[in-house]
Structure 1
Amino acid sequence: MAAVRHGAFHPLTVAAVDRLTEDAVALTFTVPAELRAAYRHAPGQHLTLRTDRDGTEVRRTYSICSAAPGPEGPTALRVGVRLVEGGAFSTYAHKEIAAGDVLDVMVPAGRFVLEPRPGHFAAIAGGSGITPVLSIAATLLAAEPTARFCLVRTDRTASSVMFLDEVADLKDRYPERFQLVTVLSREEQEAGLPSGRLDEERLTALLPALLPEGSVDSVDGWFLCGPYGLVQGAERALRGLGVDRARIHEEIFHVADEAAPAPPPGLAAAEHSRVTARLDGRSGTWPVQAGESLLETVLRNRADAPYACKGGVCGTCRAFVVQGEVRMDRNFALEEEETEAGFVLACQSHPLTDTVELDFDR
């Protein structure tokens, strides 16, 4: 069997468009037999969808919400799409995409994953951040009969809750092993926790009460997914409660521009630099034009270079720095362990040395 090409797109047919809420839909794609190996995915990974809108290529990344398949690969893939005001792709998905349409879909990617194993795991998910967590929890509970999962989810109102039935089904199937806590930030509930935003202070008080049988730091893995503010507040709360950083895994779905840190002072990009990039076993060397990111340089010469958001959030353009030094402007996708090991986001990286060598295949 041929190896799966890094960042490859294939045309997939939309099998169904299901309305989840007033502002969210689920898209289901049929995976033909010859592509099932290519679309085999780990629980928590995402897909990049590509289309053309008014002559401009648009790419967006959406997490797979369906459970991970067996070794034969999936017959279908399902993602959730929440409408974003002014969003080119989300508006298209909500108003135009219909069953029978064909979209270009990149093979699965992402490292916000939990391979099933025995243990006690937990997640804090906000809004559409439930999407990868649903895949993680469903896969884990089905594969490991002793595993437990605690889900703390927060949404604005009851009517905005995505995958309500799917989460309720997990609770029905695994009542002793799946714990669910829902918090609404803008609407009171008839039962359960009072409304309000889940910030660091509130989570610090809430999380120990949810785990009376053990301390918060006894959980084998915490998965945080949603808006930047929620994820950062949850991480601070967990660290304050004694959770080791290695047990905390994060995926951010949205970062406001004001959250972006300024480039590190004193690290000006090299004026004349060349980048060598290895991708799918082939290498090339090209000059970096003034102001370009390393991804932009590679894309001018290799249109198949992997990317999606270009905002430092999705991690699709992750690459290993083999030689040279770079400066990253933003990083909301790579774990601390990855950056320490030498990985960068090519879309946010600028050369600090005359030569830089990147490997997209690692």
Structure 2
Amino acid sequence: MFHPLRVSEVDRLTDDAVAVTFDVPPELRETFRHTPGQHIAVRRAAPAGANGNNGGGAEDGEDGIRGEVRRTYSICAPAGPEPALRVGIRLVEGGEFSTYALKELAVGDTVEVMEPTGRFVLEPRPGHFAAVVGGSGITPVLSIAATLLAREPDARFCLVRSDRSVASTMFLEEVADLKDRWPDRFQLVTAVSREEQQAGLGSGRLDRERLTRLLPALLPVEDIDGWFLCGPLGLVAGAERALRGLGVRRDRIHQEIFHVDEALAGAPAAAAAQDLADATLTATLDGRSGSWPVRDGESLLETVLRARADAPYACKGGVCGTCRAFLVSGEVRMDRNFALEPEETAAGYVLACQSHPATGEVELDFDR
């Protein structure tokens, strides 16, 4: 469900990024209380003549059914008893909402915001944790690290971050503050890909080979209690392969993709598959069920949206995971999946925006 929230602050972070803070009224404090690492979806009416992009995840998408632009942004503020709803927004070329946020959004404006969701999270607990992030991938990890260090005195955190340049680095001051407040428990390693820096790593991308050499020199890699990888697909995929090669168990690696480069993603896995004719979808959402025929070529999410405008979604690119649903019966094929962990797909969860019927009858449950 979306709620209209007033913008209380718009802070310029870099030339192409801002942090936006929303006022949360007392009656919605429980609704917007978040777990560190979660994100929110925002929406606004699509400008006249806008051409939405329903793929790629990081691009803003327009829902052709209702003429809306939706986008997900991770919460960067620490979690606490009084929910602070602050997100980081980086300008995406052609992105409808990010362009609006950087060029038009102002204090006092109202934005429709969905309650926090997402499973890229860490509940504070004792242990040694680490993250490898790229660009705006710092946003959820900033909330995770700040909350963990403030709440759990027996926890440590190592942040390895990569950016194009120092000038393009988001949340420089906030990360520096973590280092100042917890110098013995917070370790920071920085790398820039397009310029030399006086401190930190030499210039260059943090690819699989470089991380394979770097991480064991920084940490007892196999003993880390949780790894959090966030950023573009290339960085996250390379970091996962490096960690797996270093002996890290799969269940200790958590991922969130912020941008999918089409050249890296490749064609949809089942693009050549023929959609099943005359399939019927039954779906349960907010305790109400309905059945509808699936039109040729449409995803199961699009089928539900024809009858239920409240169906959850944001990116439509298989990245944010907002449309996650449990497959009760039948079979589906997913074009892409950059949001669900292997454990989730094994348990029966699918992304409705990427799913197409592979049997004549399919049933989804969005409430599980």
Contact 2:271 2:335 in 1 (8 A): no
Aligned ranges 1:165-176 → 2 under 5 Å: 165-176=173-184
Structure 2 CA distance for partners of 1:171 and 1:253, relative to 1, 3 Å: same
**Pair 1:12-2:5 in alignment:** yes
Higher RCO structure, 1 or 2 (CA under 8 Å, sep 6+): 2
What does residue 61 of structure 1 align with?
Answer: 72
Q: Is the 8 A contact 1:62 1:79 kept in 2?
A: yes
Letter in structure 2 aligned against 1:68: A
In structure 1, the residue matched to 2:277 is: 271
- 3-state SS, counterpart of residue 69 of structure 2: strand
Look up the match of 2:234. Answer: 229
Distance 2:105 2:75 in 1: 18
How do 1:31-180 and structure 2 match up within 5 A? Answer: 31-55=24-48, 56-70=67-81, 73-74=82-83, 76-180=84-188
Q: CA deviation at 1:202?
A: 0.2
Q: Please state whether the residue corresponding to 2:167 is helix, strand or coil.
A: helix
Secondary structure of the residue that 1:69 maps to in structure 2?
A: coil
1:193 and 1:289 map into 2 onto residues whose CA distance is: 53
Aligned to 1:5: none
| Letter matched to residue 50 of structure 1 | R
Q: Tell me whether 1:245 sits opposite 2:215 in the alignment.
A: no
Once the two structures are TM-superposed, the CA of residue 170 in structure 1 deviates from its matched residue by 0.5
- In structure 2, relative to structure 1, the CA distance for the partners of 1:166 and 1:265 (3 Å cut) is closer
Residue 257 of structure 1 deviates from its aligned partner by 2.1
Aligned counterpart for 2:325 among listed residues 301, 319, 322: 319
1:25 equivalent among 4, 10, 18:
18
SS of the residue 2:22 aligns to = strand
1:256 to 246, 252, 261: 261
TM-score, normalised on structure 1? 0.95
Distance 2:180 2:94 in 1: 38
Matched residue, 1:330? 336
Q: How many residues align?
A: 349
Query: What is the SS of the residue equivalent to 1:54?
Result: coil
User: CA–CA distance in 2 between the matches of 1:94 and 1:251?
Assistant: 24
CA distance in 2, matches of 1:260, 1:117: 38
CA contact (8 A) 1:308 1:316 kept: yes
Q: Measure the CA separation in 1 of the matches of 2:271 and 2:350.
A: 18
Helix, strand or coil: the match of 2:92? coil
Could you list the structure 1 runs, at least 4 aligned residues long, displaced by more than 4 angstroms after superposition: none
Shift of 1:53: 2.8
2:133–2:161 Cα contact (<8 Å) kept: yes
Coordinate RMSD, CA, aligned: 1.1
Deviation at 1:265, TM superposition (A): 8.1
Q: Is the 8 A contact 1:267 1:352 kept in 2?
A: no
CA distance in 1, matches of 2:268, 2:172: 39
**Equivalent in the alignment of 2:207:** 199
The answer to whether the Cα contact below 8 Å between 2:88 and 2:136 also exists between their aligned partners in 1 is yes
Match of 2:27, as an amino acid? E
| Secondary structure at the counterpart of residue 159 of structure 1 | coil
Give, as a single letter, the amino acid of the residue that structure 1 aligns with 2:190. T
Relative to structure 2, which stretch is displaced further, 55-64 or 317-326? 55-64
> Are the aligned partners of 1:295 and 1:346 in contact in 2 as well (CA < 8 Å)?
yes
Matched position secondary structure for 1:68: coil
Contact 1:268 1:352 in 2 (8 A): no
Q: Which secondary structure does the structure 2 equivalent of 1:230 belong to?
A: helix
Partner Cα separation in structure 2 for residue 158 and residue 100 of structure 1: 31
2:53 corresponds to which residue?
Answer: none
Q: What is the alpha-carbon distance in structure 1 between the residues aligned to residue 355 and residue 70 of structure 2?
A: 20
Tell me the residue number matched to 1:4.
none
- Residue segments in structure 1 that go unaligned for 5+ positions in a row: 1-7
3-state SS of the aligned residue for 1:160? coil
Deviations 1:104-158 (A, max 9, x none): 0001010000011100000001000000000000011111001000000000000
| Alignment map for 1:350-361 (pairs within 5 Å) | 350-361=356-367
Cα distance in 2 for residues equivalent to 1:341 and 1:249: 17
